[in-house]
Structure 1
Amino acid sequence: MYRLAQETKDDWWEVEALYDLCFAPGREALSSYRLRDGVDPIAELSMTARDADDILAGAIRYWPVRVGTHQALLLGPIAVHPTRQGEGLGGALISDSLKLAQKLGWTRALLVGDAPYYSKFGFNVTTDIKMPPPTNPSRVLALEIKRGAWRGIQGQVEHF
């Protein structure tokens, strides 16, 4: 059993260590990190998952971005400790945080990731939204938290 909670400032370095473990320290060289430079993650949506012994098992963060004049959520990174993978924890973090995002009034989200995994949460490949290069366009995925939220929106994802 895991306890999902909002990430606190005291969690920051432990979460960063989990991300380094799961993605390697070079993860910050990825182009999606340029959208995060100098911007705080959205506190209400950045969550941790801890086990009964209070050991960090997973984490997810969201960042504000925009496409033209339209706000969106950038999901990621999300990580589950290698010893805890396959237990559904990543899915719980995604599902719970997206439900909360909807309650908070967010209407659209995007990420860079594997379509086969994220499609079960409603994300689809989009050719209308462009992430900073050198992002592979087939890995840019969008989700309408509110039906029709991406309709007619296209262009470059930019810093908020």
Structure 2
Amino acid sequence: MGAVAGAVLIDAAREAAKNAHAPYSRFGVGAAVLLTDGEIVTGTNFENASYGLSLCAETVALATVNARGRFRDVVAIGIIGGALNKDGTISGSAPIYPCGRCRQIINEAAQMGGRDIDIHCGSADGSAVARHSASELLPHAFGPADLGIG
């Protein structure tokens, strides 16, 4: 997965983050998932007044992919996040990494698809991007293969 494709994912994630529903944390996150045919599916974080019911952008994007019957087709994911400003923009200079729950869900997609997914972690302001594989961010992961599914 090349740097150009990673940049496209980060740009799509940045655009998606504009729709984040983050009235409580004021921290908007966008995710963009690349599928085997080049389609990009996006998601944003979706908070709830009952904090435990909130959804991460990565989970929203991957659940959307799954609802389309494409969970095994995930190739890569781009993520950005940062402070949600009053004008709807997101600011921040540090790359955003998926939380542990999202790493587990990304691992599920990787194992079901039989490939190690590239994860592009970007900053809101575009100044930093770090690329890792799903197996780097969640080594020794438990997943479908451990249950004889895959």
The TM-score range, normalised by the shorter chain, is 0.3 to 0.5
The structure that is strand-richer by fraction is 1
Report the TM-score when normalising by structure 1.
0.33
